[in-house]
């Protein structure tokens, strides 16, 4: 049986896969089962921050594999402690809880909000507010947090205690109504809604939100699962908006291709979770943390400036091009609104050797942060052609 047949027979059919098998790769190039090469403009949906099989990352991960591949969280391990220090020092946050995915990083954030609010504001205060059109994960609770009804329909009843407000209303009238009796514990936002169509929040909205949560003793939590770890051209996207979050969740690109989630806790909430309140067998795994240290230590200011420059390069080439209506996003997380249906553009790009993604009705680009400029320009040329055709 071919890989495709085996997969279709034995793997749960939750993914609408593209019709190719990816066998291997190096950097921003990947190869399919027939040896055809593609420029990878998706990096596993913002995961392989330094591309496929990056030498420095492999060396860090391999060296850790030879030493200790796993140890229970009942013991101290060096990579976990070192990574937590790095994350705190670069963000000004105070402590980190490690898990394995974005959904779990958000689950932890929600647990922190619920416990903090119950202890500090009273048991009536348990509502977590998120934005309409947001995406926060696939566990039942993060699905409840996700502000898109079509994800909810088949999985009732959901976890109670969530409400969704418009992302583009700086008057915050819905939030004010929901918080009439002071029951809002936290607001959770993505600074750029990724799955929702690569839509950045407006500074008018984030400023109003920042002031309101401060005045009303509500936690501000930022989901940086997709936008984080250099993707936006800053270390975290909230840094573009001058926000000071109480909680930041991240995953995806953090460990460059190994499963790792992190929930960063500010001074205000760093000790909310105590012994036994939360845990994860694999969270903070030494190999995943070694990969993350390799990624994170290379996200220097100079490197992030390069990410922003490459973003500008893509925008300059695509904005105003035939068939391109607009380009949205931050850094190397860009959405292209096209005349042709996005799926058609993506299929045409694939045929010409460039792998792109979609987000809602847009073509979505999430290349490796270190994609070489020549490959980037080649890919953008193909995307331009494919947007203009049809």
Residue 275: strand pairing partners: none
As measured in angstroms, the least distance from the Cβ of 207 to ligand PLP is: 21
- What residues between 182 and 211 interact with ligand PLP by CB under 6 A? 190, 194-195
Residue whose Cβ sits closest to ligand PLP: 102
Nearer to ligand PLP, 27 or 230 (CB): 230
The torsion of the CA quartet 241, 242, 244, 245, rounded to 10 degrees, works out to 0
Q: Which residue in the set 98, 135, 151, 236 belongs to the binding site for ligand PLP (CB under 6 A)?
A: 135
- Triad 256, 260, 262: Cα angle to 5°: 115
223 binds ligand PLP (CB under 6 A): yes
Q: Which residues of 171-207 are buried (b: 16+ CB within 10 A; e: fewer)?
A: ebeebeebbeeebbbbbbbbbbbbbbbbbbbeeebbe
User: Within its chain, how far is the Cα of 327 from the centroid?
Assistant: 19
Q: Which residue in the set 30, 143, 186, 251 belongs to the binding site for ligand PLP (CB under 6 A)?
A: 251
As measured in angstroms, the least distance from the Cβ of 158 to ligand PLP is: 16
Considering only 36-44, 98-106, 231-239, 303-311, which stretch makes contact with ligand PLP by CB under 6 A? 98-106
225 binds ligand PLP (CB under 6 A): yes
Nearer to ligand PLP, 191 or 218 (CB): 191
Nearer to ligand PLP, 136 or 164 (CB): 136
CA atoms in the 13 A half-sphere facing the CB of 31:
9
As measured in angstroms, the least distance from the Cβ of 290 to ligand PLP is: 19
256 binds ligand PLP (CB under 6 A): no
Report CA torsion sign: 364, 155, 118, 207.
Answer: positive
Residues 288-327: x where in contact with ligand PLP by CB under 6 A, - otherwise, as a string:
----------------------------------------
147 binds ligand PLP (CB under 6 A): no
Please say whether the beta carbons of 340 and 390 come within 8 A. Answer: yes
As measured in angstroms, the least distance from the Cβ of 187 to ligand PLP is: 15
As measured in angstroms, the least distance from the Cβ of 334 to ligand PLP is: 15
**Residue 19 structure tokens:** 């019709």
CB atoms < 10 A from the CB of 22, how many? Answer: 15
CB atoms < 10 A from the CB of 120, how many? Answer: 14
How far is the CA of 91 from the CAs of 162, 245, 252, in angstroms? 28, 10, 18
Report CA torsion sign: 331, 38, 102, 326.
Answer: positive
Helix, strand, coil proportions of the chain in percent (round to 5)?
A: 40, 20, 40
Considering only 34-42, 99-107, 157-165, 327-335, which stretch makes contact with ligand PLP by CB under 6 A? 99-107
Residue (of 301, 239, 272) closest to 91 by Cα position: 239
Considering only 56-64, 219-227, 282-290, 328-336, which stretch makes contact with ligand PLP by CB under 6 A? 219-227
Nearer to ligand PLP, 110 or 380 (CB): 110
99 binds ligand PLP (CB under 6 A): no
As measured in angstroms, the least distance from the Cβ of 46 to ligand PLP is: 8
Q: Which residue in the set 28, 43, 226, 266 belongs to the binding site for ligand PLP (CB under 6 A)?
A: 226
Q: What single DSSP character describes residue 27? A: B
Residue (of 215, 217, 187, 246) closest to 121 by Cα position: 217
Nearer to ligand PLP, 104 or 246 (CB): 104
How far is the CA of 263 from the CAs of 100, 101, 107, 164, 344, in angstroms? 11, 10, 9, 22, 37
Considering only 67-75, 133-141, 282-290, 359-367, which stretch makes contact with ligand PLP by CB under 6 A? 133-141
Q: Which residues bind to ligand PLP, rule: CB under 6 A?
A: 101-103, 106, 135-137, 190, 194-195, 223, 225-226, 251
């Amino acid at each position: 049986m071919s890989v495709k047949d085996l997969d279709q027979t034995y793997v749960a059919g939750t993914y609408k896969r593209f019709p190719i098998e990816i066998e291997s790769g190096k950097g921003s190039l990947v190869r399919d089962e027939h040896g055809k090469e593609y420029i990878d403009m998706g990096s596993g949906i913002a995961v392989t921050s330094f591309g496929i099989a990056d030498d420095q990352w492999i060396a860090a991960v391999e060296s850790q594999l030879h030493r200790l591949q796993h140890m229970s969280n009942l013991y101290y391990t060096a990579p976990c402690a070192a990574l937590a220090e790095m994350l705190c020092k670069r963000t000004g946050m105070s402590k980190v809880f490690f898990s394995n995915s974005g959904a779990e990083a958000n689950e932890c954030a929600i647990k922190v909000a619920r416990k903090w609010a119950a202890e500090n504001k009273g048991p009536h205060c348990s509502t977590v507010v998120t934005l309409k059109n947001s995406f926060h994960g696939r566990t039942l609770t993060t699905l409840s947090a996700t502000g898109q009804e079509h994800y909810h329909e088949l999985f009732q009843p959901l976890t109670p205690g969530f409400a969704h407000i418009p992302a583009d209303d700086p008057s915050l009238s819905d939030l004010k109504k929901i918080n009439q009796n002071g029951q809002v514990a936290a607001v959770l936002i993505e600074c750029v809604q990724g799955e929702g169509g690569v839509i950045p929040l407006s500074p008018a909205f984030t400023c109003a939100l920042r002031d309101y949560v401060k005045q009303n003793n509500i936690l501000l939590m930022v989901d940086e699962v997709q936008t984080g770890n250099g993707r936006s051209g800053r270390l975290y996207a909230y840094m573009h908006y001058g926000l000071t979050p109480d909680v930041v969740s991240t995953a995806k690109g953090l460990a460059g291709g190994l499963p790792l989630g992190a929930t960063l806790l500010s001074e205000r909430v760093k000790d909310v979770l105590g012994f036994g309140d939360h845990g994860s067998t694999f969270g903070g795994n030494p190999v995943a943390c070694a990969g993350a240290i390799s990624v994170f230590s290379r996200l220097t200011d100079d490197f992030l400036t390069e990410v922003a420059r490459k973003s500008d390069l893509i925008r300059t080439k695509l904005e105003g091009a035939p068939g391109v209506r607009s380009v949205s996003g931050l850094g190397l997380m860009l959405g292209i609104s096209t005349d042709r249906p996005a799926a058609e553009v993506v299929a045409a790009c694939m045929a010409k050797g460039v792998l792109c993604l979609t987000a809602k009705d847009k073509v979505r680009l999430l290349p490796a942060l270190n994609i070489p400029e020549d490959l980037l320009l080649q890919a953008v040329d193909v995307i331009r052609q494919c947007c203009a055709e049809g």
